[in-house]
């Protein structure tokens, strides 16, 4: 399998060349184009039955369905994320946690589950679950904006809306940004304070902030 990331970093597309016998699974709706002879199978997002896939869909924010593209003979597949931004190719060997909107595609051997964040998810204003991806193979993650990879050894603070993914070995807690004055008037609100050792991926744009901007631009409702 050969993967090239085109048009980095603003409107990235993954160009995937599959050899005979190779396959890749992708988020539903991610396919831009493909060779006509590639096979496609639509299946539940997770192995382990209906309820496990349902949990990923409704609690993790992931689509209930995924598509697996397979090549009986060499072929080409183009995949694109929903939001305008970058794509990062990771060689996974272990476990990584990915925010639900950032998963794009992976090798079929990589397993997906969900990770409950507990009460800290309620206070962050973000999804209550991350997708837990485990195994050995290729993983494609997407972002809103560019992706920055950070190697954390100790503590590091990230706005919750900028988290893309983080390796097992890092933990985090939700806390307010600075003092109470900064919390109410500094425009940051709540942040994630990571601790431990591992790699952390963040995005340069923030989806909740974009939503708030759109809401502010809408005309007031007529009464």
Q: Any residues with CB less than 8 A from the CB of 3 and at least 6 apart, and which?
A: 14, 15, 16, 17, 89, 138, 140
The label of the residue with tokens 């397979």 reads 70
Q: Delimit the domains of the chain by residue range.
A: 2-217
Supply 99's token pair.
Answer: 């925010």
Q: How confident is the model at residue 95, as a pLDDT? A: 96
Torsion sign across C-alpha atoms 169, 174, 180, 185: positive
What is the distance between the alpha carbons of residues 150 and 58, in angstroms, rounded to a whole number?
30
Predicted TM-score (pTM) of the model is 0.81
Q: How confident is the model at residue 219, as a pLDDT? A: 82
What is the distance between the alpha carbons of residues 97 and 200, in angstroms, rounded to a whole number?
10
Supply 96's token pair.
Answer: 């990584």
Beta bridge partners of 92: 137
Helices (H), the chain: 50-58, 119-124, 180-185, 207-217
Q: Any residues with CB less than 8 A from the CB of 94 and at least 6 apart, and which?
A: 134, 167, 168
What is the distance between the alpha carbons of residues 152 and 154, in angstroms, rounded to a whole number?
6
Beta bridge partners of 103: 141
DSSP 85-115: B-EEEEEEEEEEEE-GGGEEEE-TT-EEEEE
pLDDT in tens, the chain (223 residues): 999 999 998 899 999 999 999 999 999 999 999 999 999 999 876 554 444 444 444 444 445 688 999 999 999 999 999 889 999 999 999 999 998 889 999 999 999 887 655 444 444 444 446 889 999 999 999 999 999 999 999 999 998 889 999 999 999 888 876 554 554 444 456 788 999 999 999 999 987 666 665 567 678 777 6
What is the distance between the alpha carbons of residues 98 and 142, in angstroms, rounded to a whole number?
10
Q: How confident is the model at residue 67, as a pLDDT? A: 95
b or e along 45-74 (b: 16 or more beta carbons within 10 Å of the residue's beta carbon)?
Answer: bbeeeeebbebbbeebbbbeebbebbbeee
Q: How confident is the model at residue 117, as a pLDDT? A: 53
Domain 2-217 CATH superfamily: Mitochondrial biogenesis AIM24 (3.60.160.10)
Q: How confident is the model at residue 125, as a pLDDT? A: 47
């Amino acid at each position: 399998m050969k993967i090239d990331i085109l048009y980095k970093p603003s409107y990235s597309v993954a160009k995937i060349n599959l050899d005979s016998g190779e396959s890749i699974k992708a988020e539903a709706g991610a396919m831009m184009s493909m060779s006509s002879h590639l096979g496609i199978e639509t299946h539940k997002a997770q192995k382990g039955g209906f309820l496990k896939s349902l949990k990923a869909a409704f609690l993790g924010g992931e689509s209930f369905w995924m598509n697996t593209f397979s090549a009986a003979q060499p072929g080409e597949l183009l995949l694109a994320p929903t939001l305008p931004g970058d794509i990062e190719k990771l060689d996974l060997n272990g476990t990584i946690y990915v925010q639900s909107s950032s998963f794009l595609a992976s090798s079929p051997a990589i397993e997906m589950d969900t990770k409950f964040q507990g009460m800290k998810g309620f206070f962050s204003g973000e999804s209550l679950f991350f997708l837990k991806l485990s195994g050995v193979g290729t993983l494609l993650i997407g972002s809103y904006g560019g992706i920055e990879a950070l190697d954390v050894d100790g503590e590091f603070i990230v706005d919750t809306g900028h988290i893309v993914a983080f390796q097992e070995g890092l933990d985090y807690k939700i806390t307010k940004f600075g003092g109470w004055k900064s919390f109410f008037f500094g425009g940051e609100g709540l942040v994630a304070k990571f601790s431990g050792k591992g790699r952390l991926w963040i995005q340069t744009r923030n989806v909740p902030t974009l939503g708030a901007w759109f809401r502010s631009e809408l005309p007031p409702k007529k009464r």
